[in-house]
Amino acid sequence: MLLTIVLATLVVLFVGLLVLWLFGERWRFFRPSTRSMLGEGGSLHGYVYGRWTNQYIHVLINWLMPRAKSGGWTSLSDHYHGKVLTQEEAEAVVSAKKDIPLRDLEQIIPYPAARNLVLKGPPEVVVYECGCRHARAKSCQPTQVCMIIGKPFTDFILEHNPHSSRRLTQAEALELLRAEHERGHLHSAWFKDACLDRFYAICNCCKCCCGGIEAMTKYGIRMMTSSGYVAEVNQELCNLCEACVDACPFEALSANEKGLERNWEACMGCGVCVEKCPLEAISLVRDEKKGIPLDVRALA
C-alpha cells in the first residue's frame, strides 16, 4: 500500500513538473531564482519541496510516516536531517560577518549528505511559514518561524512564496531566535540532499508540531543529532517542579523518588530545560561522546 502511494505521488510530481517545464516563466519554473538553484546543483525534488513546502510536509507527517512499516523510514535521515544548536550557536550563524568555509563535517553531521559547507557572511536570512505547524489541526503560534539561510534558497523562497515569506535584518533574525527560545522552542540547523547537500535553514522547533521530533520520539527515526552538549542537573537546587519534564522535546527528563533523572541517550542538548527551570538547577555541559557542536565561531 505504501509503495503504491509513493509511486502515485512520484507520477503526479513528474506530470506536474512536465507541465511547469512546458509553460516556463508563466508557471514560475524558469524564474531567475529557480535557474540559479538548479544551476548550482539543486534537484527537481528540491524545487517541489521549496515551492510547496506546506503540502509536502503535510503529506509526509499525516500520511506517509504513520503508514510506514516499522523501520521503513530509517533511511529518511540520510537525506533530510538536523543538527541541534544551542541559543548562542544559532545566533552566531546569523551574526556571521564574513564567509565561513567549513570542511570535513563527518564528526559534526554524521550523515551521508552535508559533507561541505560554506556560510556566506553576512548571510541573507528569510523567514518562512513552518510546514510542520501548518500540518497540525491545532498548531503553536506564531507559524512564521522557519529561517532560510543564504542564496540561492532565500531568493527562491521569496520569489515563489511572496505572501508567506519576508526578508529579515540581522537584528530581526536575532530577535526571532530569542523570542522562540523564550517560548521553549529549540533551534536546529537543517540539511537536505535535495538542497545542494548544504545547510539551508534554521528551524525553531516545538515538541507539539515538529515532524523531526515526532519522527524521533514516535517512530524511532534519528532525524536530529545532538548539539554536542547534555543537560546536567544540580539535585541540591532542584525542587522537582517538573517544569523541565513537561518542556523537554525529546522526553529525556523524568522525576521520581531519587530526584530528577536525565536519559543520556535521549538528551539532544537543546537547552530548552535550562530556559524553563525557574531555579537554574539545570545547565548544558559539553560531552565529547555526543559529537562536536556546529559552532561557526570555533570551526571557521
Per-residue pLDDT averaged across 140-161, rounded?
Answer: 91
At residue 129, what are phi and psi to the nearest 5 degrees? -65, 135
**What is the three-class DSSP state of 251?**
coil
Percentage of the chain lying above the pLDDT 90 cut? 44
49-53, 141-145, 240-244, 282-286: range with lowest mean pLDDT: 49-53
Query: d(Cα 251, Cα 231) in Å, to the nearest integer?
Result: 12
Q: CA neighbours within 13 Å on the CB side: how many for 15?
A: 6
Q: Which residue has the higher pLDDT, 125 or 35?
A: 125
Contacts of 190 (CB under 8 A, 6+ apart): 80, 81, 82, 83, 199, 200, 201, 202, 203
pLDDT at 257 over 80: yes
pLDDT at 1 over 50: yes
Task: Tell me 132's DSSP state.
Answer: H
Q: Are 209 and 136 in contact (CB under 8 A)?
A: yes
Q: Which residues pair with 202 in a beta bridge?
A: 147, 189
User: C-alpha angle 133/222/191, rounded to 5°?
Assistant: 65
For position 222, what pLDDT does the model report?
84
Residue 244 is placed in which grid cell? 523541565
57-66, 81-90, 245-254: range with lowest mean pLDDT: 57-66
In which band, very low, low, confident or very high, does the pLDDT at 126 lie, cut at 50, 70 and 90?
very high
Task: Tell me 62's DSSP state.
Answer: I
Query: d(Cα 194, Cα 210) in Å, to the nearest integer?
Result: 20
pTM for this structure? 0.82
224-225/80-85 β-pairing: parallel
20-24, 117-121, 251-255, 281-285: range with lowest mean pLDDT: 20-24
In which band, very low, low, confident or very high, does the pLDDT at 141 lie, cut at 50, 70 and 90?
very high
For position 87, what pLDDT does the model report?
93
Query: d(Cα 167, Cα 189) in Å, to the nearest integer?
Result: 18
- Residue 144 CB coordination number (10 Å): 15
Helix (H) or strand (E) holding 47: helix 44-51
Query: d(Cα 290, Cα 273) in Å, to the nearest integer?
Result: 18
Judged on CB neighbours under 10 Å (0-12, 13-18, 19+), 12 is: exposed
**What is the three-class DSSP state of 198?**
strand
For position 25, what pLDDT does the model report?
47
Q: Which residue has the higher pLDDT, 291 or 9?
A: 291
Grid cell 543538527 is found at: 83
Domains in the chain: boundaries: 31-226+291-299
Residue 59 is placed in which grid cell? 503529506
For position 22, what pLDDT does the model report?
47
pLDDT at 111 over 80: no
Q: Which residues of 165-204 are buried (b: 16+ CB within 10 A; e: fewer)?
A: beebebeebbebbeebbeebbbbbbbbbbbbbbbbbbbbb
Q: Are 232 and 283 in contact (CB under 8 A)?
A: yes
